């Protein structure tokens, strides 16, 4: 017996432009819908992605952009990631993103320069942004 939520989720993903294959895991389906929903909620016309590595020292992961409407950050590592808006990030200070979690920011937060630091050295993140 198939899971009706998963079937509905895959149907929504299949309706996205450019989707060729709708054979996703539940985690992939949630990630794809989060990206789609960030674009819809942010009202942005352009979706851009990046896949930077966050070191164990504070680094800028996004420059300030007054036209940016939404930022989605996903922690793809096994370490915690901390982010700050407009100032250097520090471990155990700021906004914490746990491993395999994502967070979406909009409004004033989305336009700020964003800094990040990994709790244990080089960590991979995925960033999606929308802009007008």
The stretches in the chain having pLDDT less than 50 are 1, 5-6, 18, 42-44
For the stretch 80-105, pLDDT in tens is 999 999 999 999 998 999 999 999 99
List, in order of start, the domains of the chain with CATH numbers.
4-42 (no CATH), 46-131 (2.60.120.770)
Give this prediction's pTM: 0.66
State the pLDDT at residue 131. 85
Dihedral angle of Cα 114, 119, 121, 127, to the nearest 10 degrees: -30
Q: Residue 17: which H helix or E strand, with range?
A: none
Cα–Cα dist 56/85, whole Å: 17
State the pLDDT at residue 50. 81
Cα–Cα dist 24/113, whole Å: 33
């Amino acid at each position: 017996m198939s899971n009706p939520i998963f079937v509905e989720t895959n149907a929504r993903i299949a309706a996205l432009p450019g989707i060729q294959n709708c054979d996703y895991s539940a985690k992939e389906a949630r990630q794809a819908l989060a990206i789609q929903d960030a674009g819809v909620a942010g009202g942005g016309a352009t979706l851009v992605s990046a896949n930077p590595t966050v070191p164990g020292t504070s680094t800028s992961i996004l420059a300030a952009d007054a036209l940016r409407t939404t930022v989605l950050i996903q922690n793809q590592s096994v370490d915690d990631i901390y982010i700050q808006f407009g100032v250097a990030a520090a471990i155990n200070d700021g906004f914490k993103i746990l491993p395999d979690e994502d967070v979406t920011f909009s409004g004033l937060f989305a336009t700020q320069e964003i800094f990040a630091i990994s709790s244990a050295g080089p960590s991979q993140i995925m960033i999606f942004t929308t802009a007008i």
